Amino acid sequence: MKSKNTKEGTIYYDNKTKKRIQVHVDQALAKETELILDELGLTPTTVITMLYKRIAANGSLPFDVALTDNEKATLHFLKSTESTPVKIFKNSDEVQAW
């Protein structure tokens, strides 16, 4: 049986019943999130375990996966301007000449 020391004390766990999950997350997002979780007294592992348990219990994500109105507007704008020609200027003289 392995153990891990934390702020709350020593956590004992059995590698035969646990699975390691590794993810890559933007560093700034991770830092911001971990500050909030720390204030809530939670660890990333605890939150991920909570998420997995909710998914297993309900058979779905515990939140809606949808774009916000702002994200929808941005996506619409990007799609509607895809065919708009773009002129790239190398310097201010080219901008003036244009």
- The pLDDT tens digits for 51-68 are 999 999 999 999 989 999
The whole-number pLDDT of residue 52 equals: 95
Helix, strand, coil content of the chain in percent (nearest 5): 50, 10, 40
Is the backbone of residue 94 left (phi > 0), alpha (psi -120 to 50) or beta? alpha
How far is residue 56's CA from residue 47's CA, in Å, rounded to a whole number? 14
Answer yes or no: is pLDDT of 98 > 90.
no
What is the Cα Rg of the chain in Å?
24
The whole-number pLDDT of residue 91 equals: 92
